[in-house]
């Protein structure tokens, strides 16, 4: 966004990176020690791949829209 | 937004929400520390954005119009996000559970044509005249009286709707998480007041885009995992077909058809007729909401140029068409996947039945006779009814509106559940922030400045806008508590929107496309149209049998009344505009420059590559829209 310094996409990237890292971290922890919550389809290890996707998108946005880079 | 609220809510199922406050059953979900951290980080982020943007919201143009520098993408996502409150998310998932994919009409025919019309046809007039608001356009076109009627109507409706949404959110948080009502109301209100009060419209728009991403990130897993477990779309269809006929009494095939069974009111689960869907919902309610409601139009007015302003609703329409994937599909999946602890299928019921069967302090149904009578009108099996009356673990009833949170609890573990709950909270807050920021602009530009203090400085009006946000949030909190203690008024508050929007649409369309429309015609048609629309509402409210007259059929259900009332109110106001205009003196054409089609020279836009051309994208939207309607005919 022009004229506003940090683009909104950077904020979104930061949030997705934080959330993705937390969820991915929990997913790995859960995969090691076993499920901590009785949810369906536990065997799919959803926190690992969903957390990974969120973190990857977060990294992409943080790098692409970091402050100081030309804003879009 | 009564005409656009979910069927399960518009039909009155949220009216007994306060009764749920006595509901002593265990909350649906238990958050763990990781979930709490996810929610807390979200609150920290939205307030941080508000603080960061405070220094960029010093002039009135920056504070109220976000400096008119939003890109088409940001304006478009904000445009859609401001409409994606959690009442809509949860309510439409519940409606899909009840009525099948008929609920999708409110996302497709009830939105897409109007969004394209706003972008391609109406936006140039809003944008070229540089108005700050929809009442501001009425002022330029019809004069101060029409503006005042619209401004007061908008201001009252927005602030009361904000309160109603706030209360509904607090009740949802209590039912889903067991959170205290006052805690939910104050935490969300303070956060919204902080980030909108500090950063103005820019902050509201930034956060709406953020909230839009979170809603998808938090809710998208439910249909993905649900479809996997149901065996894909074909598996879902097969299970509904085989399971539901005996339970619902309606041919379960109807759950998958948008239009096929709408030739008769009684032939489809929702009790609507295609004429009501096309003319009432698809034209009057949808066009009224998406093209004249300042809450959404304000987002597009903040675009950085005319092309961005035209592209924003078109970009928004792509995402709007996709929303049923995270809202309607979970409702349908809930029909076959939700289970009780013993593995039997969990059947959801209306909020009124849940409230009637509320538990006392010892965990038993408080009024067994009333509960039994209420359950006898549902499709609950005899075994399920016995189980509820017997009490004990896992015996409590759940409502249609809980379909989405129940599906979240089914699939989302620690962290992911926090993200899902954050998506719901984000939806509530984006709606509340939208109402409050629009109220601030209407109050400052259309009430305070023209009627109270015409000669204030720019910084004075920014200060008034900030105060309006604080006062608006405070009044919203008051409205939330008012609804809690006198819940009958909720119906009236929700009806304010539809009472007002249909005549407003008639007045704006004639003002924008008919040079002959006069000032007096605009003012009187708007005022008398609102009175007529309110009269129809009260008639049905006081005499329920009148529904058959208003909706033209004895088979009509409450949703049909909404769309037909809007249609009559629109026609009434339209006839008035024409008749009064022909009897009064028209304005000189020179005064209509920039306001009316045929009297306005639109600025020539620079040529752009085809992939940046709004008409190309609009054609693509039309093709996808038509294909979806044919696919689910």
What DSSP string runs through B529-555? HHHHHHHHHHHHHH-GGGHHHHTT-TT
The answer to whether the CB atoms of B411 and A40 lie below 8 A apart is: yes
Residue A39 phi, psi dihedral angles, 5° rounding: -105, 160
Q: Which of A2, A10, A15 to mutate: most B Cβ within 10 Å? A: A15
The answer to whether the CB atoms of B45 and A41 lie below 8 A apart is: no
The answer to whether the CB atoms of B217 and A41 lie below 8 A apart is: no
The alpha-carbon gap from A61 to the nearest alpha carbon of chain B, in Å, equals 12
pLDDT of residue B557: 67
- Name residue, tokens 């518009």: B10
Answer whether residue A1 is part of any domain.
Answer: no
pLDDT tens-digit map of B420-448: 988 888 888 888 888 888 899 999 999 99
- Cβ of B399: how many Cβ atoms within 10 Å? 25
Please check whether residue A6 touches B, CB under 8 A.
yes
The answer to whether the CB atoms of B411 and A46 lie below 8 A apart is: yes
pLDDT tens-digit map of B156-199: 888 888 888 888 788 778 877 888 888 888 888 898 888 888 88
Residues of chain B with C-beta less than 8 angstroms from the C-beta of A8: 74, 206, 209-210
Residues of chain B with C-beta less than 8 angstroms from the C-beta of A12: 209-210, 213
Answer whether residue A69 is part of any domain.
Answer: no
Answer whether residue B255 shows pLDDT above 60. yes
The answer to whether the CB atoms of A11 and B45 lie below 8 A apart is: yes
Answer whether residue B37 shows pLDDT above 90. yes
**CATH (one of 3.40.50.300, 1.20.1730.10, 3.20.20.70, 3.40.640.10) for B15-338+408-491+602-631:** 1.20.1730.10
Chain-centroid distance of CA B196 in Å reads: 20
pLDDT of residue B486: 65
Helices B221-230 and B403-411, packing angle to 10 deg: 80
Q: In chain A, which among 28-47 make CB contacts under 8 A with chain B?
A: 30, 35-37, 39-42, 44, 46-47
The alpha-carbon gap from B611 to the nearest alpha carbon of chain A, in Å, equals 17
Distances (CA, A) of B586 to B120, B141, B200, B514, B518: 27, 12, 39, 11, 5
d(CA B253, CA B632): 11
Whether B89 contacts B431, CB under 8 Å: no
Answer whether residue B518 shows pLDDT above 90. yes
Distances (CA, A) of A20 to A49, B56, B215, B255: 9, 30, 15, 36
- Cβ of B432: how many Cβ atoms within 10 Å? 27
Answer whether residue B23 shows pLDDT above 60. no
Residues of chain B with C-beta less than 8 angstroms from the C-beta of A42: 413
The answer to whether the CB atoms of A11 and B206 lie below 8 A apart is: yes
The alpha-carbon gap from A29 to the nearest alpha carbon of chain B, in Å, equals 11
**Who contacts B32 (Cβ-Cβ below 8 Å, separation ≥6)?**
A36, A37, B414, B417, B418
Domain count, chain A: 1
pLDDT band of B15, cuts 50, 70, 90:
very low
**Who contacts B246 (Cβ-Cβ below 8 Å, separation ≥6)?**
none
Answer whether residue A28 shows pLDDT above 80. yes
Answer whether residue A12 is part of any domain.
Answer: yes
Please check whether residue A49 touches B, CB under 8 A.
no
Q: What is the ipTM score, two decimals? A: 0.92
Nearest by CB to A1, from B37, B71, B419: name it: B71
Answer whether residue A72 shows pLDDT above 50. no
Rg of chain B over Cα atoms, rounded to whole angstroms, equals 24
d(CA B483, CA B502): 25
Please check whether residue A71 touches B, CB under 8 A.
no
Answer whether residue B275 shows pLDDT above 70. yes
d(CA B196, CA B50): 7
The alpha-carbon gap from A4 to the nearest alpha carbon of chain B, in Å, equals 7
What b/e string do you get for B55-71 counting C-beta neighbours within 10 Å, with b at 16 or more?
ebbeebbbbbbbbbbbb
Answer whether residue A32 is part of any domain.
Answer: yes
All CATH 1.20.1730.10 domain ranges of chain B, comma separated, are 15-338+408-491+602-631
Give the mean model confidence (pLDDT) for residues B401-414.
Answer: 88
Whether B512 contacts B128, CB under 8 Å: no
Answer whether residue B534 shows pLDDT above 60. yes
Answer whether residue A54 is part of any domain.
Answer: yes
Nearest by CB to B52, from A6, A16, A23: name it: A6
Answer whether residue A72 is part of any domain.
Answer: no
The answer to whether the CB atoms of B415 and A51 lie below 8 A apart is: yes
pLDDT of residue B28: 76
Residue of B nearest to A47 (CA): B416
Q: Which domain holds residue A56?
A: 8-64
């Amino acid at each position: 966004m022009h004229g506003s310094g940090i683009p909104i996409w950077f904020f979104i990237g930061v949030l997705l990176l934080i959330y993705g890292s937390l969820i991915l971290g929990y997913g790995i922890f859960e995969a090691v020690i076993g499920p901590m919550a009785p949810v369906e389809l536990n065997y799919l290890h959803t926190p690992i791949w969903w957390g990974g996707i969120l973190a990857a998108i977060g990294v992409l946005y943080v790098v692409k829209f970091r402050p100081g880079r030309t804003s879009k | 937004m009564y005409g656009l609220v979910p069927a399960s809510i518009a039909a009155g199922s949220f009216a007994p929400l306060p009764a749920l406050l006595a509901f002593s059953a265990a909350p649906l979900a238990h958050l763990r520390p990781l979930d709490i951290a996810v929610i807390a980080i979200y609150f920290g982020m939205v307030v941080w954005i508000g603080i960061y943007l405070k220094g960029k919201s010093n002039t009135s143009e920056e504070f109220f119009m976000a400096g008119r520098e939003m890109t088409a993408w940001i304006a478009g996502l904000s445009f859609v996000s401001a409409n994606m409150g959690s009442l809509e998310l949860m309510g439409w998932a519940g409606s899909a559970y009840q009525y099948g994919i008929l609920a999708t009409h409110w996302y497709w025919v009830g939105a897409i044509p109007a969004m394209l019309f706003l972008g391609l046809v109406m936006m140039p007039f809003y944008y070229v005249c540089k108005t700050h608001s929809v009442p501001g356009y009425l002022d330029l076109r019809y004069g101060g009286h029409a503006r005042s009627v619209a401004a007061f109507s908008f201001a009252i409706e927005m602030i009361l709707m904000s309160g109603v949404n706030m209360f509904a959110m607090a009740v949802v948080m209590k039912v889903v998480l067991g959170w205290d009502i006052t805690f939910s109301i104050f935490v969300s209100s303070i956060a919204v007041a902080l980030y909108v009060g500090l950063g103005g419209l820019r902050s509201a728009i930034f956060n709406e885009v953020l909230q839009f991403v979170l809603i998808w990130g938090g809710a998208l897993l439910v249909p993905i995992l649900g479809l996997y477990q149901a065996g894909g779309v074909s598996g879902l269809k097969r299970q509904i077909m085989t399971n539901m006929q005996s339970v619902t009494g309606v041919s379960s095939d109807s759950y998958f058809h948008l239009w096929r069974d709408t030739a008769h009111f009684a032939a489809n689960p929702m009790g609507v007729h295609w004429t009501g869907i096309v003319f009432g919902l698809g034209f009057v309610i949808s066009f009224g909401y998406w093209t004249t409601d300042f809450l959404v139009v304000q987002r597009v007015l903040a675009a950085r140029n005319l092309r961005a302003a035209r592209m924003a609703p078109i970009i928004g329409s792509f995402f709007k068409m996709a929303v049923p994937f995270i809202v309607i599909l979970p409702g349908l999946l809930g029909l076959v996947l939700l289970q009780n602890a013993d593995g039997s299928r969990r059947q959801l019921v209306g909020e009124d039945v849940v409230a009637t069967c509320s538990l006392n302090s010892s965990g038993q149904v408080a009024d067994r006779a009333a509960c039994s009578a209420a359950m006898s009108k549902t499709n609950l099996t005899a075994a399920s009814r016995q189980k509820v009356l017997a009490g004990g673990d896992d015996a409590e009833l759940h409502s249609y509106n809980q379909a989405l949170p129940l599906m979240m609890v089914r699939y989302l573990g620690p962290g992911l559940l926090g993200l899902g709950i954050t998506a719901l909270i984000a939806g509530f807050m984006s709606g509340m922030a939208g109402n409050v920021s629009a109220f601030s602009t209407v109050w400052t530009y259309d009430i305070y400045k023209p009627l109270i203090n015409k000669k204030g400085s720019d910084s004075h009006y920014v200060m008034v806008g900030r105060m309006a946000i604080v006062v608006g949030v405070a009044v919203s909190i008051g409205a939330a508590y008012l609804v809690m203690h006198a819940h009958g008024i909720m119906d009236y508050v929700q009806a304010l929107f539809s009472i007002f929007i249909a005549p407003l649409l008639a007045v704006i369309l004639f003002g924008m496309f008919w040079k002959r429309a006069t000032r007096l015609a605009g003012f009187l048609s708007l005022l008398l149209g609102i009175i007529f629309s309110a009269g129809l509402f009260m008639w049905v409210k006081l005499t329920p049998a009148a529904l058959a007259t208003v909706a033209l059929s004895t088979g009509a259900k409450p949703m049909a009344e909404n769309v037909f009332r809007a249609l009559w109110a629109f026609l009434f106001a339209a006839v008035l505009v024409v008749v009064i205009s022909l009897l009064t003196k028209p304005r000189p054409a020179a005064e209509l420059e920039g306001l009316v089609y045929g009297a306005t020279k639109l600025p020539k836009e620079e040529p752009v590559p085809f992939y940046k051309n709004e008409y190309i994208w609009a054609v693509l939207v039309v093709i996808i829209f038509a294909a979806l309607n044919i696919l689910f005919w």
